[in-house]
């Protein structure tokens, strides 16, 4: 995934930003490997003591002696059989982890399906049948299951207040969690904290007559103090054309529903719009408004948001960052969008950093800002105020009493098709603690779960994947030699971040980061407000500092990974360096097919349709020769058409929107497989897993596919099609596999089999290239 989007789809309803799937084997082995009958017999035998003998009758002693002789004989027989079996099958791995993972893989397969016809159902059919959606989940798979496992680890760490040697920051994380878990206090306060906050903002027309001229002041407060973005979003990030400095950036804002499509296609999305309106109306009633007033006010808000959706630019039209990058001075914003008093606004949002009218700013949505300014100018000031307050209300729902959370849960049940369930409070609190103090909590997580040699092993795998990628560049015929050389230099320069940022393991440095974040023991709402205030100060502080590579965008427990083009870096948190992606006791085929493909995926993002625009230093500039650019565009158009020809529940995928992730999936698989072949050349063939009847080359592809086994509700699938830059799991497998000649070779797929089209990526007309493409995308 690339940095501007989400590395993988959302991991769960609790965690902001990752994916869903199921853990095949617990990498720790705790409480998962049952004792074998042999082990039980040995325990019983060794548990006998001589003192029991005098208490037996002669007949009992004789019978018991015979039982012992038979047991010992059986034990020796089993040992002998095992040794003989291993001698006659030297190519099998018969360790306990190998047997366990083999069993899990076998259970996930559907052997009735021809792998050359439908590899996803072959690899995942058994898993899908035995894994109905858990109650309350809209999607499920290895990613989400691993995240649930990580959350349980974090829960134990946060609740263990007797741990010694914690840093002040780690203690703050525990207090933050404890305040979140104080349901009695939260229920006692009810809606009062939010009602008081709204009053401080100047009130709204829900509960009292309202006629004020305070638009600029309210906009400044909701943006600066509560981190909301009603009409546009303003943030600090690396300047894409000067990667050594940070800069203020302005972009279009998000909407109340996940995508503009929900508003624009009202017929197809009527039930979602109605559920959204009902949810907002219920929030209004809970905050003291009458049903009638709330209904009228919220209908106006949804209509206004529909107008905003109409002027919002679709994401697939924003993929060329060279075209949407617009650098100007702060004073130019006044000409671009005069409805906002920009200088007071920016000074408030980035206080206490001094700003003047010549402050450089990058605008990523120039046309949108012009239109939103016109909309603000012609919209009733009461409606504008109501909308800004509602954006704050939506952000606070999850930190209020159960009535607000029940209202949101009912909305999400309709939105994502989940069955009603009671989510344990601790899951919400763990996830929110990870969001607010994730690097303090991450330090605890790393010390409890992540070893230094795991980091070294992962770093070595990254190096192997990088070698495979660079070696493939030699055989790309459509790319000119000068661009190839620059591409290799960029790949060489990619900075790898594995496990965790180093500063979190130093108490002094970690405490310094969170020094200004005050956490009290009982007041959860107050702690969240403190977090927003702290976050605003940290953001402002970055403006005058150079970008820091140790500033991660994911916390260590996260089950995900990402590539950041402006830093030319890949990040692999400790949370994903576990089964089913990696285990040191598994065959290398599984590790390369799991975490190896993830590593190759992130590496390929440096050369996808967006990442390729950045040079080795992270600067957005033209560094490819025009001939290579044109060849690249023609080839990637083939991929746009290939994935655009897939559909889920009769809804076609958007091949343009998912292009970057599809390129990364294809390139990642190719690089990981090549690295695995190189590993075999250096180390020799490894033992195969028992009972599967597969070569390790076949196992590589099965391991890759089973990471993506998943189940989803139709509503969740619909949301994914229109919002997710990743293709649905099924097509991440078959789309990539069908472009792999190595897959077809090892599974013996006949020409023109569904998984082995005669011309790779030549599924539709006008795609003129053949198997070279799979090399070009790696």
How would you classify the pairing of strands 360-363 and 242-252?
parallel
- 507 and 364 within one domain: no
pLDDT at position 69 is: 53
Is pLDDT of 734 > 90? yes
CB environment 736-754: b (16+ within 10 A), e (fewer)? bbbbbebbbebbebeeebe
Clarify whether residues 510 and 563 are in a common domain. Answer: yes
Note whether 453 and 380 are same-domain residues.
no
CA distances, 65 to each of 47, 264, 528 (Å): 15, 82, 70
Reported confidence tier of residue 25, pLDDT bands at 50, 70, 90: very low
Q: pLDDT-based confidence at 409, cuts 50/70/90?
A: very high
Task: Please check whether residue 95 lies inside any domain of the structure.
Answer: no
Q: What is the pLDDT of residues 49-98, one digit of tens each?
A: 233 333 334 443 454 454 345 444 433 443 343 444 444 444 899 999 99
- Note whether 669 and 704 are within 8 A (CB): yes
Closest CA to 773 of 610, 635, 644, 592: 635
Q: Are residues 452 and 494 in the same domain?
A: yes
Say yes or no: 543 and 609 in one domain: yes
Mean residue pLDDT of the chain comes to 87
Distance of alpha carbon 677 from alpha carbon 127, whole angstroms: 28
Is 211 designated active site?
Answer: no
For residue 348, is it within any domain?
A: yes
The two tokens of residue 656 are: 């343009």
> Which of the following is catalytic: 170, 661, 665, 719?
665
Long-range contacts of 646-650 (CB under 8 A, 24+ apart): 646/727, 646/731, 646/735, 648/717, 648/721, 648/728, 648/730, 648/731, 649/714, 649/717, 649/718
Q: How many CB atoms lie within 10 A of CB 683?
A: 9
Give the residue with greater pLDDT, 362 vs 65: 362
Q: What CA–CA distance (Å, rounded) separates 325 from 577? A: 35
Mean pLDDT of 483-497: 96
**Strands in 331-438 per DSSP E:** 360-363
E strand spans, 191-320: 232-239, 242-252
Please say if the pLDDT value at position 245 is more than 60. Answer: yes
Residues 664 and 604 occupy one common structural domain: yes
Domain end (from 399, 423, 446) = 399
E runs forming strands in 544-625: 562-564, 569-573
What is the spatial order of strands in the sheet that 232-239 belongs to? Answer: 232-239, 242-252, 360-363, 326-329
pLDDT value of position 12: 32
Same domain, 384 and 498: no
Q: Which of 630, 631, 661 is nearest to 643 (CA)?
A: 661
Task: Indicate whether 395 belongs to any domain.
Answer: yes
DSSP per-residue string spanning 724-748: -SSPPHHHHHHHHHTT-HHHHHHHT
For the cut 60, the answer to whether the pLDDT of residue 778 exceeds it is no
**How far is Cα 572 from Cα 582, in angstroms, rounded to an integer?**
12
Q: Which residue has the higher pLDDT, 632 or 19?
A: 632
Domain-ending residue, one of 341, 375, 399? 399
Cβ atoms of residues 361 and 249 within 8 Å: yes
Provide the percentage of residues in the chain whose pLDDT is more than 90. 83
Residues 20, 23, 28, 32: what is their CA dihedral angle, to the nearest 10 degrees?
A: 140
pLDDT of residue 423: 83
Average pLDDT of the segment spanning 393-417: 95
pLDDT greater than 50 at residue 542: yes
Assess if residue 680 is contained within a domain.
yes
Q: Indicate whether 364 and 474 sit together in one domain.
A: no
**Which residues, including other chains, have CB under 8 Å from residue 678's CB and lie 6 or more apart?**
464, 467, 468
Distance CA 372, CA 340 (A): 10
How many beta carbons lie within 10 A of that of residue 353, not counting itself?
A: 18
Joined together, the tokens standing for residue 564 give 């950041």
Asked whether the CA dihedral 49, 55, 58, 60 is positive or negative, the reply is: negative
Instruction: Return the CATH number at 538.
Output: 3.40.390.10
pLDDT of residue 760: 64
Q: Which residue has the higher pLDDT, 9 or 305?
A: 305
- Cα gap 238→294, rounded to integer Å: 42
How do strand 569-573 and strand 360-363 relate by DSSP bridges? unpaired
Residue 582 has pLDDT above 80, yes or no: yes
Res. 246 pLDDT band, cuts 50 70 90 = very high
Q: What is the CATH number of the domain that holds 330?
A: 1.10.1380.10
Range of the structural domain that residue 356 is part of: 230-399
Q: Are 1 and 7 within 8 A, CB to CB?
A: yes
Check whether 29 has a pLDDT greater than 80: no
Q: At what angle do helices 425-449 and 524-542 cross, to 10 degrees?
A: 50
Task: Give the span between the Cα atoms of 185 and 164, in whole angstroms.
Answer: 28
pLDDT of residue 420: 76
- The answer to whether residue 602 is catalytic is yes
Residue 378 has pLDDT above 60, yes or no: yes
Looking at the structure, tell me whether residues 382 and 466 fall in a common domain.
no
For residue 672, pLDDT beyond 80: yes
pLDDT digits (tens, 9 = 90+) for 756-776: 998 665 333 334 333 333 333
Q: Is residue 433 helix, strand or coil?
A: helix
Task: List, edge to edge, every strand of the sheet that includes 569-573.
Answer: 495-499, 569-573, 562-564
Q: How far is CA 97 from the centre of its chain?
A: 28
17 belongs to a structural domain: no
| Number of domains the chain contains | 2
pLDDT, residue 761, reads 56
The residues facing 496 across adjacent strands are 570
In the block, residue with structure tokens 């789309």:
735
* Cα-trace Rg, the chain: 29
Q: Are residues 336 and 453 in the same domain?
A: no
Write the DSSP assignment of 476-539 as a string of letters: -SSS-HHHHHHHHHHHHHPEEEEES-GGGG-HHHHHHHTTT----SS-HHHHHHHHHHHHHHHH
In a domain, 381, yes or no: yes
- Residue 605 inside a domain? The answer is yes
Residue of 114, 140, 106 lying closest to 703 (CA atoms): 106
Which residue is catalytic, options 20, 569, 602, 715? Answer: 602
Are 563 and 710 part of one and the same domain? yes
Beta-bridge partner residues of 235: 249
In a domain, 193, yes or no: no
Q: Within this chain, do residues 263 and 365 fall inside the same structural domain, yes or no?
A: yes
106-157 pLDDT, tens per residue? 999 999 999 999 999 999 999 999 999 998 899 999 999 999 999 999 999 9
Q: What is the pLDDT of residues 260-308, one digit of tens each?
A: 999 998 888 999 999 999 999 999 999 999 999 999 999 999 999 999 9
Q: Are 560 and 573 in contact (CB under 8 A)?
A: yes
CA distance 592 to 462: 10
Contact status, residue 144 vs residue 8, Cβ threshold 8 Å = no
């Amino acid at each position: 995934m690339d940095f501007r989007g989400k590395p993988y789809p959302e991991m769960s309803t609790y965690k902001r930003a990752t994916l869903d799937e199921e853990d095949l084997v617990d990498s720790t082995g705790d409480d998962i490997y049952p004792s074998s009958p042999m082990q039980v017999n040995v325990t019983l035998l060794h548990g006998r003591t001589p003192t029991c003998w005098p208490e037996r009758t002669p007949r009992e002693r004789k019978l018991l002696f015979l039982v012992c002789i038979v047991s010992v004989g059986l034990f020796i027989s089993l040992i002998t059989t095992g040794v003989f079996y291993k001698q006659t099958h030297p190519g099998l791995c018969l360790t306990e982890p190998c047997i366990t993972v083999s069993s899990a893989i076998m259970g996930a397969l559907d052997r009735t399906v021809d792998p050359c016809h439908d590899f996803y159902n072959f690899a995942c059919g058994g898993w899908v049948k035995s894994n109905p959606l858990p109650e309350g989940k809209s999607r499920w798979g290895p990613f989400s299951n691993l995240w649930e496992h990580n959350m349980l680890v974090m829960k134990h760490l946060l609740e263990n207040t007797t741990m010694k040697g914690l840093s002040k920051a780690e203690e703050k994380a525990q207090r933050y969690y404890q305040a979140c878990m104080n349901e009695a206090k939260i229920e006692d306060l009810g809606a009062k904290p939010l009602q008081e906050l709204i009053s401080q903002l100047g009130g709204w027309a829900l509960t009292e007559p309202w006629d004020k001229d305070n638009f600029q002041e309210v906009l400044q407060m909701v943006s600066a103090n509560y981190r909301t973005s009603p009409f546009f979003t303003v943030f600090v990030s690396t300047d894409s054309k000067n990667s050594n400095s940070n800069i203020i950036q302005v972009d279009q804002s998000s909407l109340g529903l996940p995508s503009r499509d929900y508003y624009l296609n009202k017929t197809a999305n009527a039930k979602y719009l109605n559920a959204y309106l009902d949810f907002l109306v219920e929030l209004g009633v809970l905050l003291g408004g009458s049903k009638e007033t709330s209904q009228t006010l919220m209908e106006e808000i949804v209509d206004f948001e529909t107008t905003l959706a109409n002027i919002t630019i679709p994401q697939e039209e924003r993929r060329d960052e060279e075209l949407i990058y617009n650098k100007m001075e702060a004073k130019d914003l006044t000409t671009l969008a005069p409805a906002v008093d920009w200088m007071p606004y920016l000074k408030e949002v980035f206080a206490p950093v001094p700003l003047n009218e010549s402050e450089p700013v990058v605008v990523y949505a120039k046309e949108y800002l012009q239109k939103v300014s016109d909309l603000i100018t012609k919209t009733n000031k009461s409606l504008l105020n109501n909308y800004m307050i509602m954006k704050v209300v939506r952000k606070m729902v999850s930190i209020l009493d159960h009535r607000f959370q029940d209202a949101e849960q009912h909305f999400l049940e309709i939105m994502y098709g989940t069955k009603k369930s009671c989510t344990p409070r601790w899951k919400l609190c763990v996830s929110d603690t990870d969001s607010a103090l994730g690097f303090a909590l991450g330090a605890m997580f790393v010390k409890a779960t992540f070893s230094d040699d795991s980091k070294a092993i992962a770093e070595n795998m990254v190096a192997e994947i990088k070698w495979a990628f660079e070696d493939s560049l030699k055989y790309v015929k459509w790319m000119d030699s000068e661009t190839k050389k620059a591409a290799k230099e960029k790949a060489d320069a990619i900075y790898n971040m594995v496990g965790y940022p180093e500063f979190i393991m130093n108490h002094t440095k970690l405490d310094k980061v969170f020094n200004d974040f005050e956490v009290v023991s009982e007041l959860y709402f107050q702690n969240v407000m403190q977090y927003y205030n702290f976050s605003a100060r940290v953001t402002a502080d970055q403006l005058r500092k150079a970008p820091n590579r140790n500033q991660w965008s994911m916390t260590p427990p996260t089950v995900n990974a990402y590539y950041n083009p402006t830093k030319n870096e890949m990040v692999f948190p400790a949370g994903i360096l576990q089964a089913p992606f990696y285990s040191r006791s598994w065959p290398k085929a599984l590790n390369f097919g799991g975490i190896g493909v993830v590593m190759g995926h992130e590496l390929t993002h440096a050369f996808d349709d967006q990442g390729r625009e950045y040079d080795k230093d992270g600067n957005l500039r033209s560094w490819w020769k025009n001939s290579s650019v044109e060849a690249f565009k023609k080839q990637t158009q083939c991929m746009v058409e290939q994935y655009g020809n897939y559909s889920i529940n009769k809804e076609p995928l958007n091949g343009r929107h998912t292009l970057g992730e599809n390129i990364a999936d294809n390139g990642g698989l190719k690089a990981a497989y090549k690295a695995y072949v190189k590993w075999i050349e250096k180390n020799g063939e490894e033992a195969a897993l028992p009972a599967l009847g597969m070569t390790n080359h076949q196992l590589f592809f099965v391991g890759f596919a089973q990471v993506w086994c998943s189940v989803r509700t139709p509503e969740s699938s619909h949301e994914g099609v229109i919002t997710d830059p990743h293709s649905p799991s099924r097509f991440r497998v078959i789309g990539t596999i069908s472009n792999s000649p190595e897959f077809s070779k090892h599974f013996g797929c006949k020409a023109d089999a569904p998984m082995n089209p005669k011309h790779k990526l030549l599924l539709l007309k006008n795609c003129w290239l053949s198997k070279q493409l799979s090399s070009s995308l790696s």
